[in-house]
Amino acid sequence: MASLAIEITTSLGSPVYDDALAIRQEVFVQEQHVPADLEVDSDEGKAIYFVAYDDDHHAEGTVRLVPDEHGVGDVQRMAVRKTDRHHGIGRVLLNAVADYAAKNAYAALLLHAQVHAIPFYEKLGYTLTDRPEFLDAGIRHREMVKPLAADTKGANHVQ
């Protein structure tokens, strides 16, 4: 795998956010047929966006993190372009999210995994909660959680 650079932003005017939206449009709306009006939601302005770029600055994958008031980060909109899958990009993105969350004293990460992706998330330390399977945008999901140990090295800076 070529090296990846992870760029992080909270700005909805950032090129990083634009790349995140383009990947989400491609994966969720075009490939998985999620209605476009469900894909962009009220969490856009609250989220921290992570985008993985290859050596040529081609955006390959994205994920967003939405903090809550209880110190839990909601991991959402995990997507890797079809042509870039199975190269470890999702793992790198989720490790970047976990590092960011630990450095910012999050207690845990929570996500809603598409059922077919549960084994992928389990390899990264997420476990299923007691919440039963549910449909989100017509796709089967399960809730998963990953407890975190706070990192005392200080906060990560977001551009």
| Tens-digit pLDDT profile for residues 58-108 | 999 999 999 988 889 999 999 999 999 999 999 999 999 999 999 998 999
Q: What pTM, to 2 d.p., does this model score?
A: 0.89
pLDDT at residue 4 is higher than 70: yes
Q: Is the pLDDT of residue 155 over 80?
A: no
CA distance readout (Å), 54 to 45, 59, 61, 99, 145: 26, 7, 10, 20, 29
% of the chain beyond a pLDDT of 70: 92
Evaluate if residue 145 carries a pLDDT over 60.
yes
Say whether 14 sits in a helix, a strand or coil. coil
pLDDT at 69: 84
For residues 97 and 146, the answer to whether their CB atoms sit within 8 Å is no
Give the pLDDT mean for 137-154.
Answer: 80
126 or 158, greater pLDDT: 126
- Looking at residue 150, its pLDDT comes to 55
Contact call for residues 144 and 113 (beta carbons, < 8 A): yes
Cβ contact 155:106 at 8 Å: no
What's 39-102 look like in SS3?
HCCCCHHHCEEEEEECCCCCEEEEEEEEECCCCEEEEEEEEECHHHCCCCHHHHHHHHHHHHHH
pLDDT, tens digit, 9 for 90 and up, residues 25-55:
999 999 999 888 888 999 999 999 999 999 9
**pLDDT value of position 70:** 85
